[in-house]
Amino acid sequence: MKKIFAANWKMNKTPDESKAFVENFKVKIDQDFFKTRDIFIFPQNFSLAVTLSQCAQTPIRIGPQNIGPENSGAFTGENSLAVAKAMGSTTVLIGHSERRILNGETNEMIAKKMKLALQQSLLPVLCIGESLKERESRESNRVCSEQLEQALAGINAETEFIVAYEPVWAIGTGRVATADQVRQMHEHIFSTLSGRGFKNFKILYGGSVKSDNAKELIQIPHVDGFLIGGAALEVSSFLDICNSIK
């Protein structure tokens, strides 16, 4: 089965820098690259158009890092999923912890965005993960189950989606979850989703993924790939992670 390598560029990269990244990336990969890998890129919105056009002849999936609560209307400053789709997006990041923490996104808002994405047939990458305090008080499983259950409430069992498990304490901190922590949580997410009858899902790990930990983490059962922030900003470090599989 193919592994997924998803780049979350966060609030980085001008259109020119985004274009240069894709150009450089394309010359460094060979024809077989996509046989074993699915690549996703989540640029920031001002660079979405150029990234889409640069990736037009490739299987790379592109989408926004967030969407507004409706497809259109009086939501000044928000971004429309319908517009992102019209531009050519095929995926969308939903519920990233930075949005939950910095923008007060609740599980309820995230559930609404999941439904919008699915109505528009965009493949959602739903981010979940516990805080350090929640991990220390042994609440990781409960928090992640709750985030999953609320985001997926009312969603048909046949639906295709991706979950990115990103422990908040591991994001951008250089503090990666241990292989045991990743194994335990991915098993928990897999059995929770399977128990609800879902079949068409993948589970990514995210949080300080680098080339030196990717090889070990990618071998763990139910780790279907990675969501990568900092290390996805440079072609060389992103490719090193993509090459954690052969």
Nearest C-alpha neighbor of 191 from the set 180, 181, 179, 203: 203
Is the torsion defined by CA of 100, 103, 104, 109 positive or negative?
negative
166 a catalytic residue: yes
Exactly one of 98, 130, 166, 186 is catalytic; which is it?
Answer: 166
Report the C-alpha gap between 167 and 90 in whole angstroms. 26
222 a catalytic residue: no
Near ligand PGA in 189-208, by CB under 6 A = 206-208
Identity of the residue numbered 112: K
Exactly one of 96, 98, 105, 130 is catalytic; which is it?
Answer: 96
Evaluate whether 206 touches 227 at the Cβ level (below 8 Å): yes
By beta-carbon proximity to ligand PGA, the closer residue of 53 and 243 is 243
Evaluate whether 30 touches 118 at the Cβ level (below 8 Å): no
Q: How many residues bind ligand PGA (CB under 6 A)?
A: 13
Report the C-alpha gap between 175 and 208 in whole angstroms. 6
> Which range of residues in 28-36, 166-174, 178-186, 237-245 is near ligand PGA by CB under 6 A?
166-174
230 touches ligand PGA (CB under 6 A) = yes
166 touches ligand PGA (CB under 6 A) = yes
Near ligand PGA in 92-131, by CB under 6 A = none
Catalytic residues: 96, 166
Residues within the interface to ligand PGA (CB under 6 A): 8, 166, 171-172, 206-209, 227-231
